């Protein structure tokens, strides 16, 4: 089953003059598939990831997520779908520095409407998976870059999303920790999650089931 199905997706930023970033992207990603998207800086990779993740809307084309057309969705429906189906790991972490690691993860679960009685177990499980149980009560602003990256990944995978989106997830990690991240992504793919990663890291490009190139606003093998 294709969890992501895009046909001729375009994105134009209406500035002066207009900037055409995506110019007819066709993309299918199946459940359990690992896809790496590469391209030069400014190629539109982050824009594409934001469109996939319902953080941005395309200017044209059609996009189905988990079999549901997204074009006519109201903002509230998009928000609800994003919270329930998608996990994000951002390049700049986007963690709340004044909150603890545990609180960052609990907030994600609150947004996704997980019952309060299930949250503690879910947080402990994912912290164990990323090796951060010992930092659960630490303020995230006091963490190292690598630890913040692992918090971002923990937040992305908590709550059992169907689609996992990651922007340069190994950019701040050494070889051992990068391998650990890929192992986490493998575990997600094995349970049927579609994993889409934007990267300049050859380790991820070689690890993925498919390496795709975003060139001149379109996807090429």
How do residues 60-101 score in pLDDT, each as one tens digit? 999 999 999 998 899 999 998 998 899 998 877 788 889 999
Predicted TM-score of the model (pTM): 0.91
SS3 171: coil
Residue-level pLDDT at 62: 96
By the 8 A CB rule, do 63 and 5 touch?
yes
Domain 2-220 fold: Rossmann fold (3.40.50)
Terminal CA-to-CA distance of the chain, rounded, Å?
20
Q: Domain residues of the chain, as ranges?
A: 2-220
Instruction: Report DSSP state, residue 100.
Output: B
Question: For residue 17, with 0-12 CB atoms within 10 Å meaning exposed, 13-18 middle and 19 or more buried, which class applies?
Answer: exposed
pLDDT of residue 172: 67
């Amino acid at each position: 089953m294709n969890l992501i199905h895009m046909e001729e997706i375009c994105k134009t930023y209406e500035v002066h003059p207009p900037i055409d970033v995506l110019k007819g992207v066709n993309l299918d990603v199946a459940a359990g598939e690992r896809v790496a998207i590469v391209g030069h800086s400014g190629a539109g990779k982050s824009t594409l990831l934001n469109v996939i993740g319902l953080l941005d809307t395309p200017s044209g084309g059609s996009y189905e997520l988990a079999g549901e057309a997204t074009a006519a969705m109201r903002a509230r429906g998009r928000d609800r779908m994003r919270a329930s189906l998608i996990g994000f790991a951002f390049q700049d972490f986007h963690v709340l520095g004044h909150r603890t690691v545990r609180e960052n993860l609990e907030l994600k679960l609150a947004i996704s409407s997980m019952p309060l009685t299930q949250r503690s177990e879910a947080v402990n499980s994912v912290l164990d998976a990323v090796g951060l149980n010992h930092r659960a009560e630490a303020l995230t602003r006091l963490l190292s870059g690598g630890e913040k990256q692992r918090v971002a990944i923990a937040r992305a995978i908590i709550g059992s999303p169907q689609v996992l989106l990651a922007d340069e997830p190994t950019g701040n990690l050494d070889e051992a920790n990068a391998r650990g991240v890929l192992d986490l992504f493998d575990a997600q793919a094995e349970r049927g999650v579609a994993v889409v990663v934007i990267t300049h890291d050859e380790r991820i490009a070689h690890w993925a089931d498919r390496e795709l190139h975003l060139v001149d606003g379109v996807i090429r093998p």
